[in-house]
Structure 1
Amino acid sequence: MALNGEPSSSLNTTTTTTAKKNTVLISHGRQPWYGIDGRLLSDAFVIGIGGGSSSGKTTVARAIVEAMGSIPTVVIVSQDSFYKPHGPEELKLAFENKYDFDHPNSIDMPLFAECLTDLKACKQTNVPVYSFVQHQRLEETQYIYGAAIVIAEGIMALQDPALRATYDLKIFVQCDSDLMLARRIRRDVAERGRTVEGVLDQYLRFVKPAYDNFVLPSSKYADIIVPGAENSVAIDIIATHVKRKLAERGAHFRDRLAKPEMFLPKLECAEETVEESVKSLNLIVLPDAPQTQGIFTILRDKSTSKEDWIFYSDRLTTLLVERGSAQLPFKPHSVTTPTGTPVEGKVLAAHCVCGVSLVRSGTVLERGLRRVWQDVPLGTLLIQSDPSSGEPLLLHTMLPACLRSRCEAEKSWVFLLDSQIGTAAAAMMAIRVLLDHGVPQSHIIFLTFVVARKGGVRVLRKAFPHVHIVCGAVDEGLREARLPPADGEHKGRKIWMIEPGMGSIGDRYYL
């Protein structure tokens, strides 16, 4: 999952993206962090790593990640990003190596704690970016979301009570003082444009006293003290502990989504008519007009050519978008016609309208969305099934800019695009992502071609009753099937097919 705009990784590789001091480690995807009721089930596992300057805190963090093997998405957040903005006098002292960057007061601890609290609660956050060359916090921020493991490292990472309250595990890295000084000289000269004389002066004036007065005393709060960054025994113990804790937080319920009677024992959908199901599920369905029936007849026909299929699916999307647009807020607005006559009309009252599609079947609806809403900002979510468990995995997040800030997201309206709702596993994960960013349920308009009325949509409605679901047709139910076995598999992965359905919509559109 690319959390800061980089391409996503494949299922079995781990890549790294870095923005200044903060690192996002990308792996095989993020499993559900919520329950079948849609509510937060488990928060992110947060590790705090403290220690002296150049003691090897980042090295320990990376070693823990490597020792875990196959991992979910991890983010390493550095305390160095949270230095306070500096005024002219402070900047002058900083360039003269006379500003104390090693005192707790130099760090914006409340903002640091706020960002960690958001990440722990599985929400998005925007981490400040600090330039050591300019000695200043920059205007830009780094957007981060979706980490199952958060590692916070810094010399004061264990010193502040608010920070310690967010940690599930606290680590202190011990290191010889001479070695820390040697590493600091090499780093500051090579990466931060300092002179050896300036580094030594700052070390004696600020770094050493801060270590003695603040950093070393904070080691008493650590759960584990690691003597040396290369201590493989300590790293293995920590990695084993973290893996066990993550396993305890796993959520598995796709089978229950495919068979909602397991979750809703009083369900009597088999006895409902389609009209009764539409009403009970609070679905917005396109009128059963001859035009709609004709489009669906063409789209359901397996002999329809690719060119015709694309043309009529775009037509269907346009109808869905127009129907969904009726859920947007409008306010009175006065205009003057070319004849000079004043007319009372309506104008859109939404702060921002954007689209988010589920790759790749949801991207089928993007062209139709653009036909109705020109230049609409678009984002994507890549959600695929875990080959072993069948549970959904969030592999990639690329949301429009208006959703990356919570205060903006709270005022935005989102067209969420997916071609069908069967088990609703991907739909539930996509809605949960938007809610984590601050988008209200009532501001989400889910557009889809087909809904299986006996499938997971019933659980989805119970979890998110205020989301608007706009569909073209309501089909009967789901049929369990298996894909052909892949290399090394004993049997193929289990899937559920909507019947009568429209087949694999993404394949029919793109292949």
Structure 2
Amino acid sequence: MMHGEGAHTSNQEGRYGEDGERLTDAFVIGIAGGSASGKTHVAQQIDSFYKWHTPEEVALAFENNYDLDHPDSIDMPMFAACLADLKACKQTNIPVYSFKDHQRLKETKYLYGAAIIIAEGIMTLHDPSLRALYDLKVFVQCDSDLMLARRIRRDVKERGRSVDGILEQYLRFVKPSYDHFVLPTSRYADVIVPGSDNSVAIELISTHIRRQLNDRSMRFRERMANTTTDSFLFHVPNSETPSEKMLRLNLRLLDQTPQLKGIYTILRDKTTTREDFIFFVDRLATLLVERALESLPFRPKTVVTPVGVESNGKEVDAKFICGISILRSGGPLEQGLKRVINDVPIGSLLIQSDAESGEPLLLHGMLPACIRLRHQAEEAYVFVLDAQIGTGAAAFMAIRVLLDHGVRQDRIIFVTFLVAAGGGVSVLRNAFARVKIVCGAADGALHESWCEDSHLGEGKGETDGRKVWVIEPGMGQIGDRYYL
């Protein structure tokens, strides 16, 4: 089985260039060694890729007469396919194996977004197609007597086996397979780690991994903000208004009616009460989603009216529709989406800036089922909700997450209250030209500022800061004003 270091909560900083293409893959580590050699001290969980067993094979397994340590018992093609997806920053659904029931379960485990992937198992280094995917290959070497003692203790306690059954299986299958198939793969390892007292070796490996990840960091947010703002303003005439810039970038901007301008005046006013702010945010969110709904496909439909007359109309022609809210600024748009599309599933992405570097980090994701399964994601239409687009770093990452899952670019509809015309939206349009962006207003300036964070350190007060970019005149922190 594969274990993603931070598989559900990970940092994807620096993986993509301004053109939206992936610059680096995830860092993949393959760890092999004998059964109970101590591999789980380096990485946890193993052997999910055992093949589906017939009732006869399960019966033999309960009698300790089925060889689970032979390479043929592992579904190597599926193992390699899932690992290749994760390395390429795509999602995968890995099988779950029950040692207690000697069977692969029907359920699967969803994995995505790991910066570091650990593939661990007795046959991890056996297959050439797997070895080609590893950035670092590790073999855990341990004394046979110690491995047997650990196996007896583990299988009795965790898997309900008898000592006699364990010894019979070990002598008949485990030891011969280790000698013939597992131990010979140690020659492919970059590092051989002892099965006990291996803290020094693990620290060396960890240092190597940290160095590799640091080398891959691209300081994405600052580079994106500086590059986009400078290049965008350079090519745009000074006489062009923010709304004209939005039209030129092919953004769907709400008609700037007096009513809409009145709503934005209320929302921009810092003296507006929280009750009024919530009311007008919900009203504006509904208008934006209704406009965004025009991006969905429709097909003809004939209905019979209450007076018995046929009427030709339209209905939405989409198999899967869902929303993704970028926490927590996307929350104020959720009510509008729910009002317009009944029972729409809404997932979330937590994307925040690193306290030290200011880089965007993907910290958590709760995605609807239609996105977690790639064959459904390819047919899904997704509304991405975020309060505003400044540098565009969070929006950029959210779109890349969806593309990694198989969502088609032309089926992503980004809905936002406010866009900085001189900010990262130009990079978004260049990188993801087929993504539709629906916004209510455009402000002209993206101002670089410095945010000071106070904290206590070493028994005294200290102040650190980080670079931020603020939309002007803007609407402030919309999520905070909505929820606090």
TM-score normalised to structure 2 length: 0.95
Superposed displacement of residue 448, structure 1:
0.4
User: Does 1:210 pair with 2:177?
Assistant: yes
Q: What is the match of residue 498 of structure 1? A: 471
Measure the CA separation in 2 of the matches of 1:197 and 1:170: 35
User: Does 1:186 pair with 2:146?
Assistant: no
User: Does 1:325 pair with 2:293?
Assistant: yes
User: Does 1:238 pair with 2:205?
Assistant: yes
Out of 15, 20, 23, the position equivalent to 1:41 is: 23
Tell me which amino acid in the other structure corresponds to 2:153: R
Structure 2: give runs of 5+ residues left out of the alignment. 457-461
Superposed displacement of residue 21, structure 1:
8.6
- Aligned partners of 1:32 and 1:393 also within 8 Å: no
Measure the CA separation in 2 of the matches of 1:481 and 1:387: 15
Q: How does 1:66-145 map to 2 (within 5 A)?
A: 78=46, 80-145=47-112
The CA deviation string for residues 17-61 of structure 1, in whole angstroms up to 9 with x for no partner, is: xxx995754777442421222211111000000010000111123
Q: Could you tell which deviates more after superposition, 97-106 or 288-297? A: 288-297
The CA deviation string for residues 153-179 of structure 1, in whole angstroms up to 9 with x for no partner, is: 100000011111110010111100011
Structure 2 SS opposite 1:390: coil
User: Does 1:50 pair with 2:32?
Assistant: yes
Superposed displacement of residue 335, structure 1:
2.1
Tell me which amino acid in the other structure corresponds to 1:457: V
Q: Which runs of 4+ in 1 moved over 3 A?
A: 20-30, 261-266, 488-491
User: Does 1:402 pair with 2:370?
Assistant: yes
- Aligned partners of 1:46 and 1:166 also within 8 Å: yes
Q: Could you tell which deviates more after superposition, 480-489 or 374-383? A: 480-489
- Aligned partners of 1:256 and 1:262 also within 8 Å: no
Structure 1 SS opposite 2:134: coil
Shift in CA distance, 23/484, structure 1 to aligned 2, threshold 3 Å: closer
Q: What is the match of residue 41 of structure 2? A: 59
User: Does 1:507 pair with 2:480?
Assistant: yes
Measure the CA separation in 1 of the matches of 2:289 and 2:238: 30
User: Does 1:469 pair with 2:451?
Assistant: no
Q: How does 1:270-349 map to 2 (within 5 A)?
A: 270-349=238-317
Structure 2 SS opposite 1:85: coil
Superposed displacement of residue 268, structure 1:
2.4
Structure 2 SS opposite 1:459: helix
- Aligned partners of 2:96 and 2:104 also within 8 Å: yes
TM-score normalised to structure 1 length: 0.90
Q: What is the match of residue 360 of structure 2? A: 392
Shift in CA distance, 275/307, structure 1 to aligned 2, threshold 3 Å: closer
Superposed displacement of residue 491, structure 1:
4.6
Measure the CA separation in 2 of the matches of 1:367 and 1:27: 26
Q: Could you tell which deviates more after superposition, 240-249 or 323-332? A: 240-249
- Aligned partners of 1:189 and 1:196 also within 8 Å: yes
Out of 348, 352, 369, the position equivalent to 1:380 is: 348
- Aligned partners of 1:388 and 1:493 also within 8 Å: yes
User: Aligned pairs, how many?
Assistant: 477
- Aligned partners of 1:46 and 1:167 also within 8 Å: yes
Measure the CA separation in 2 of the matches of 1:220 and 1:262: 52
Tell me which amino acid in the other structure corresponds to 1:176: D
Q: How does 1:431-470 map to 2 (within 5 A)?
A: 431-470=399-438
Q: What is the match of residue 459 of structure 2? A: none
- Aligned partners of 1:23 and 1:77 also within 8 Å: no
Shift in CA distance, 325/28, structure 1 to aligned 2, threshold 3 Å: closer
Superposed displacement of residue 244, structure 1:
1.3
